[in-house]
Chains A and B, each alone.
Chain A
Amino acid sequence: MTYRRRENWKRFPELKRLKDLSTPPKEIYYTGNWNPEIFKKCVAVVGSRRMSEYGRRVIEKIIPQLVLQKKTIISGFMYGIDQYTHQICVESGGKTIAVLGWGINVKLDGYDKKLANKIVESGGLIISEWEEQQAAHWTFPARNRIVAALSSEIIIVEAAMKSGSLITARIGNRLKRKIWAVPGPITSRTSAGTNLLIAQNKAQMWIDSFLTSEKITTGDPLLDLLSNEALTTNEIARKINIPVSEIGAQLSLLTISGQLTEREGKYYLNNAG
């Protein structure tokens, strides 16, 4: 893909937020059609590389809402939460900016390449402060400062205790950006960082309208069991006194009829959204 340099980026008003940084980038390179409009209302959605099923569902839930509010979604183009954020944003018809953790001229392949093309085609941008820099341990935190600086709000979906997303949050706090963290179960490793941000008052808890919605009971013991938590077939078999063969058959039927979703062996009820 062809890329360009934003000559003397400090002249451009849409990039003035970058000047908030103590060490602003020297250069800005980009791929895509530069449209100053998309920098106006930016929300960063970032998180762990190791996305859990919970994180996936959070993204599927909040990104379409943000797109509806005409926000531009910024993220870090790393696999996991970041890439899924870009993907869902593009699929929901939104604009997204991907800030690379490596040089703009580093060749992409496979899924990365496909996603980058989709972002550009949908009117989004791929940007980086380097031209030829290879990804290294230090490039990702450096990338995070740009993600934080460009956006006015930062939502952290899932982060473990040592996640790079916490660096984004720290920089965001310093730059006086609004920080949101999506709470998670205290048993989940990938939610430990986000829960900690909330506990330490460094981020506001992101909650959603479904708190108020009532719990639906169906009378079907299987669906009732799954309305509380996602379970594997084995766990269900241990909880209710039905032969595993029947449980399996029912799970298949409910999945095919669209009432359940199965991912990585666990079954989720589909009415939460």
Chain B
Amino acid sequence: MLVKILSVANVGLDTVPVDVEVDVASTGFPGFTIVGLPSKAVEEARERVKTAIVNSHFEFPARKITVNLAPADLPKDGAAYDLAIAVGILIASNQLETSAKIDLKRMFFYGELSLDGSLRPTKGILLLGLFAKNKKGSTIFVPQPSANEAGFISAVTVIPVISLSQLVDHLTDEKTITPLKYSSLEKFIDEDYIEYDLAEVAGQEQAKRALVIAAAGGHNLLMWGPPGTGKTMLARALPGILPPLTPDEALEVTRVYSISGLLTPGEALLRKRPFRSPHHGVSSAGLIGGGSNPLPGEVSLAHLGVLFLDEMPEFTRSVLESLRQPMEDGVIEIVRAAGHVKYPASFTLISAINPCPCGYLGHPKKECKCTDKQIAKYRHRISGPILDRIDLTVSVSAVEVEKLSLTNQNQANRLTSIQAKEQVVKARKIQSKRFAGLKIYTNSQMRNKEVKKYCMLTADSENLLKVAADKYNFSARSYYRLIKSSRTIADLESSEKILPVHMAEALQYRQII
């Protein structure tokens, strides 16, 4: 007898329906074959399904079983077809008679089986839920440990399944499973708590200000200074001062994490802005995504959050260069034999570099042991095109401990993350009003056309910029970069025009390497 069960395959962030056709032949030599470009993980479903059926006190038919995963030309990967195959075999071998209420044409089965017949956490549940939402009146059967991922999708019945035998009881209407309760997306969004507070970093008043500007205008930031001065702590504080994720943004981020299997079982929605800090040994596939069946890389996992590259010159040059496309377009396209996928990758880049290879150039106490040539070579490792995409540079100098009196700080420069966030949110509101309908959200995304249109300089500021351009030998690019960051500074002060003070402050964050 032939049965058709519905399931899905996730290709990148796209979801494709897959028909799991199971045939248990009445004649022929016993065997179990899976066709339809299965990967090793899918092939091994034979052993998992066979054992799980037996351990759920059913009989595994000693007949010729053929499973076809259609469309046959799409490569299938992962263990998520286990559940569909098992259900198909049980129905096709007449061990499971579905009750009249069950309409298999509107039901998707998705999940990995354990040998004892229970279901294991499976990645990509959110994507399945979003796909089923478009097919009216669908029901999805998913492993109970990961079911929460689909909890806020309306118009889909989500059945959290603990084990195969429980599912059979449900399908025969012997003992139904209560569907997952729908809760609205807004409910999941609460005030995200701040993990690293700016106030925890001692000193570095200027760098904190630079972080606020970076957060407000979505600018990429380069921090420059010897080790142990708080660069990493500052970078970690950035997600806490960015505006909270909107429900749509949260969903977008969660999709990437769902397909990567990085959601903790039971977790429904990512509420924090991601912070990714890949080690400098990362390969370019690790950074931008890849693999024969391409998975998202660090740039996509940092989507709408922060990508922190510590010791930036230590990254391989080709790896750094691969950042160019995502930094420009906010998406990354990966082409592999298995296909062509697109992942979102719109992040704020924070990079940290030491002043020299040993790290102690200009340190008040420690001696630097590098030669001038080594220093020049070290700084040249970051290419111009990458530096061109970094609007702000700030020096994070070594702090002499005796100069830091934590209790006695000046009022004017004490900044907590909560205050910083308020400033950022205010400045972002001004920007979203300005760019309404333009597909631009922050000042950093302005192209030259928009810079000319929206960045009104007063005559004084323009003059200042000209004098500065002459003194520091600006290129046309750095000229526009400065205007963009001064626009953000003006937004932070709620000033419609860019005044000389804003321009002068922006000059503090010009590129020095």
Contacts and interface: CB of A to CB of B under 8 A. Distances in A.
A234 B204 contact: yes
A189 B368 CA distance: 11
A118 to B, nearest CB: 18
A93 interface: no
A245 B395 contact: no
A34 to B, nearest CB: 30
Interface of B is mostly: helix
B467 interface: yes
A232 interface: yes
A109 to B, nearest CB: 10
Nearest to B229: A234
A78 to B, nearest CB: 10
Contacts of A160: 367
A232 B395 CA distance: 9
Contact of A256 (B368, B412, B471): B471
Nearest to B213: A245
A19 interface: no
Interface string B478-513: 000000000001001000000011101101100000
Contacts of B204: 234
Contacts of B413: 237-238, 243-244
A238 B203 contact: yes
A245 B403 contact: no
B362 A252 contact: no
Given A240-B410, A242-B412, A244-B205, A249 B368 contact: no
A238 B403 contact: yes
Contacts of B397: 232, 234, 265
A250 interface: yes
A35 interface: no
Contacts of A232: 206, 395, 397
B209 A235 contact: no
Given A238-B410, A242-B412, A244-B206, A249 B501 contact: yes
B409 interface: yes
A50 B368 contact: yes
A241 interface: yes
B27 interface: no
A256 B372 contact: no
B292 interface: no
Q: In this complex, which of B207, B413, B489 has the most chain A Cβ atoms within 10 angstroms of its Cβ?
A: B413
B464 interface: yes
Contacts of B403: 235, 238
B471 A248 contact: no
Q: How large is the interface on A (under 10, 10 to 19, 20 to 34, 35 or more residues)?
A: 20 to 34
B411 interface: yes
Nearest to B499: A249
A50 B366 CA distance: 13
Contacts of A256: 464, 467-468, 471, 504, 507
B507 A245 contact: no
Contact of B508 (A238, A240, A241, A252): A252
Given A238-B403, A244-B205, A265 B504 contact: no
Interface of A is mostly: helix
Given A243-B412, A243-B413, A249-B504, A233 B362 contact: no
Given A237-B410, A238-B413, A245-B489, A252 B504 contact: yes
Interface string A106-144: 000010000000000000000000000000000000000
A235 B500 CA distance: 24
B475 interface: no
A241 B205 CA distance: 12
Contacts of B203: 234, 238
A79 B411 contact: no
Contacts of A234: 203-207, 397, 399
A265 B205 contact: no
B357 to A, nearest CB: 14
Contacts of B501: 246, 249
A264 interface: yes
B505 A238 contact: no
B504 A253 contact: yes
A248 B209 contact: yes
Contacts of A175: none
A159 to B, nearest CB: 14
Contacts of B412: 237, 241-244
Interface in A247-273: 248-253, 256, 264-265
Nearest to B376: A110
Contacts of B411: 241
B371 interface: yes
Q: In this complex, which of B403, B411, B504 has the most chain A Cβ atoms within 10 angstroms of its Cβ?
A: B504
A245 B409 CA distance: 16
Nearest to A232: B397
B17 to A, nearest CB: 55
A54 to B, nearest CB: 12
A252 B502 CA distance: 10
A187 B412 CA distance: 30
Interface in B390-422: 395, 397, 399, 403, 409-413
Contact of B206 (A233, A242, A264): A233
Interface in A85-105: none
B276 to A, nearest CB: 28
Given A249-B501, A265-B395, A233 B410 contact: no
A110 B373 CA distance: 10
Nearest to B472: A256
Interface string A187-201: 101000000000000
B405 to A, nearest CB: 8
B353 to A, nearest CB: 14
A79 B371 contact: yes
Interface of B: 203-209, 362, 364, 367-368, 371-373, 395, 397, 399, 403, 409-413, 464, 467-468, 471, 489, 492, 500-502, 504-505, 507-508
Interface of A: 49-50, 79-80, 110, 160, 187, 189, 232-235, 237-246, 248-253, 256, 264-265
9 contacts: A232-B206, A233-B205, A233-B206, A238-B203, A238-B403, A244-B205, A244-B209, A245-B505, A265-B397
Given A79-B372, A248-B209, 9 more contacts: A234-B397, A238-B409, A238-B410, A242-B412, A244-B412, A245-B209, A245-B505, A252-B508, A265-B395
